[in-house]
Amino acid sequence: MCGIVGYTGQRMAEDILLDGLRRLEYRGYDSVGIAIASDGLKVFKDKGEMSKIEPTIPRWDGSMGIGHTRWATCGKPSKENAHPFVDCTGRIALVHNGIIENHLALRKELEDEGHVFTSETDTEVLVHLMERYYEGDAHAALVAALAKVKGTYAVAAMVEGDDRIVAARKENPLVIGMGVGENMVASDVTAVLSLTSRVLYIMEGESVIVTAGGVTIFDRHGSRVERQPTTVTWTLEDAEKGGFEHYMLKEIYEQPTAIHNCLLGSLDEIDSGAVMPDIDLSTVKLVACGTSYNAAMVGKYIIESMARLPTTVELASEYRYSPGTGESPLTVLVTQSGETADTLAAAREARQRGCRTLAITNVVGSTISRETDHVFYTNAGPEIGVAATKTYITQLISMYLLGLRLGTMRQTLDRTEVRHLSTELRTMPRHVSGVLDRASEIEKAVDMLVPARDIFYLGRNINYPTMLEGALKLKEISYIHAEGYAAGELKHGPLALLDASTPVVAAAVNDHTRDKMLGNISEVAARDSPVLGIGVEGDRELAAIVDAMIGIPKVPSILSPVPLTVVLQLIAYYVARKKGCSIDKPRNLAKSVTVE
């Protein structure tokens, strides 16, 4: 979960590296480092965020270099553990994202040979392995080094006196930005957008030689690979804050557009079977991690309601180690980045079990798109804030589209129902805009939550997992302990924790559980817990039993998670802002979880 950037061309490499690292800092921000080919090999690295470290970085000439922003997985955040790493000769520099599982054995082997280590990291073994195998060809040395390791990697390296950057990937993303007389290596497209919109996606097991004049790709067997660049439709402006205080707030406000883009053409594609052709199935299994897991839980309610199809949800980190049942359900892998390590492993396991697989992801060309039978792209655009917002909302939209498709296939929805739900989905951008128009009211309503150490989020039916997502957002960026609960479970333990110091956020929409939900809220209020209620605009019964109420537009109850989610995102954002937290870069978290 780190950011890699490399540049070779005619311009000052340092300027381009630092710009790319700023754009990749959401992937890791506990340390920063660069290596520049400038009258030898110059290296600078230190612990801390870019904004604090950048003024201390020396200015070096040189038109080739590599850089790295780290999120610690092996070795604590420190200057010594920061990348790039340099070999004992001081001629080879290397940056890495991933985990080397056999690094302890390799380290001992290399130390016995006389190699001196300066860090606690697993990565450092790679640069010493390159030193061992280097005989004038950096690419051959990297390939030989990687043949010795077990684990995952995206890696880039350079050698003093050589005009090439060499790189490779296994289960971690790597892209090449194709310019004119200049090229870049990066973990993410956002790092190269200032240079070019033409990118080459490096595939699993491939290695690459990058020079100012061209790019050569090799497969795992050493054969050359021909591949045409892809033109990225995102612009540099798409990845900027656009006047908002934080990326997260900008991305919350981009959700009406994101929903529109997710729906654009997709209703027709779903109906025609272009996304998922007719297949004979009896069950569905949704597999995901984190925020995507919450979207999958909402998806269970949607699919069972629309398609009357038994649906289960499983954490990707658990699925891959489960024994399986011998059945072969349609297995839907949900991942924002398409690079989530556990979800990729689950996709491979599902295919080994003979399951038909469908990926729901935001990133075109990501690994998951190549390792599943079918792919649905959410088209949310780039998301920089670590806490997912518009990628989550488009995952919800994808679940509705999948439910419509399966319901049509199984004839559990008639044409009138499909038309009605499709029309209602098309109104979602307008309803979300309506919620955003009330942001100032939400900002005032959260004052009751700011002092709390613990908060419960309560919901029922399809909005139980929605409240799980609301609690996750709050804990991610405000560092308040928040628990999402099915409201009917209050009597089975959590009620003992409620008192005047423990606020509750409760959702009660106009569905078949509303009366039960109002009863649950009354139970909470009787324990003196302050209650922030979220319900349909004009709900006087709810307003009468809560301390403050936030209204959402009246929509069909099955679609209520969409406007409710936006309210919950704004609650988390405003609480975190009032507490002075680092909203876009919460501590200990990174955007793309590419290690187990």
Residue 506 in 3-state DSSP? strand
Q: Kindly state the helix (H) or strand (E) to which residue 290 belongs, with its residue range.
A: helix 290-307
Task: Give the span between the Cα atoms of 36 and 86, in whole angstroms.
Answer: 12
Look-up of token digits 């390792």: 371
Q: In the prediction, which pLDDT does 533 show? A: 96
Within 10 A of 368 (CB to CB), how many other CB atoms are there? 23
Q: In the prediction, which pLDDT does 44 show? A: 94
Q: In the prediction, which pLDDT does 592 show? A: 53
Of the residues 42, 300, 585, 591, only one is catalytic, namely: 591
Strand-pair category, 151-159 with 85-86? unpaired
One fold for 3-238 and 241-426: no
User: Domain map of the chain by residue range?
Assistant: 3-238, 241-426, 432-591
For residue 84, whether the previous peptide bond is cis, meaning omega lies within 30 degrees of 0, is yes
Scanning 410-494, the segments in alpha helix (DSSP H) are 415-426, 428-436, 439-445, 463-478
Task: Give the span between the Cα atoms of 336 and 347, in whole angstroms.
Answer: 14
CA 160 to chain centroid, in Å, comes to 35
Q: In the prediction, which pLDDT does 386 show? A: 86
Residue 568 in 3-state DSSP? helix
Q: 262 near 398, Cβ under 8 Å?
A: yes
Task: Please name the amino acid found at residue 88.
Answer: C
Active site residue 591: yes
- Per CATH, the homologous superfamily of domain 241-426 is Glucose-6-phosphate isomerase like protein; domain 1 (3.40.50.10490)
Q: In the prediction, which pLDDT does 116 show? A: 94
What angle separates helix 255-263 from helix 390-409, to the nearest 10 degrees?
A: 30
419-466 pLDDT, tens per residue? 899 899 999 999 999 999 899 999 999 999 999 999 999 999 999 999
Task: Give the span between the Cα atoms of 49 and 367, in whole angstroms.
Answer: 29
With a cut of 50, list the residues of the chain below it in pLDDT.
594-595
Task: Give the span between the Cα atoms of 209 and 437, in whole angstroms.
Answer: 50
17-65 pLDDT, tens per residue? 999 888 887 665 678 999 999 889 999 999 888 888 889 999 999 999 9
Provide the CATH topology of domain 432-591: Rossmann fold (3.40.50)
Give the pTM.
0.71
Task: Give the span between the Cα atoms of 96 and 116, in whole angstroms.
Answer: 19
Of the residues 2, 262, 289, 355, only one is catalytic, namely: 2
- Per CATH, the homologous superfamily of domain 3-238 is Aminohydrolase, N-terminal nucleophile (Ntn) domain (3.60.20.10)
Task: Give the span between the Cα atoms of 29 and 37, in whole angstroms.
Answer: 24
Residue 318 in 3-state DSSP? helix
Q: In the prediction, which pLDDT does 340 show? A: 86
Q: 123 near 150, Cβ under 8 Å?
A: no
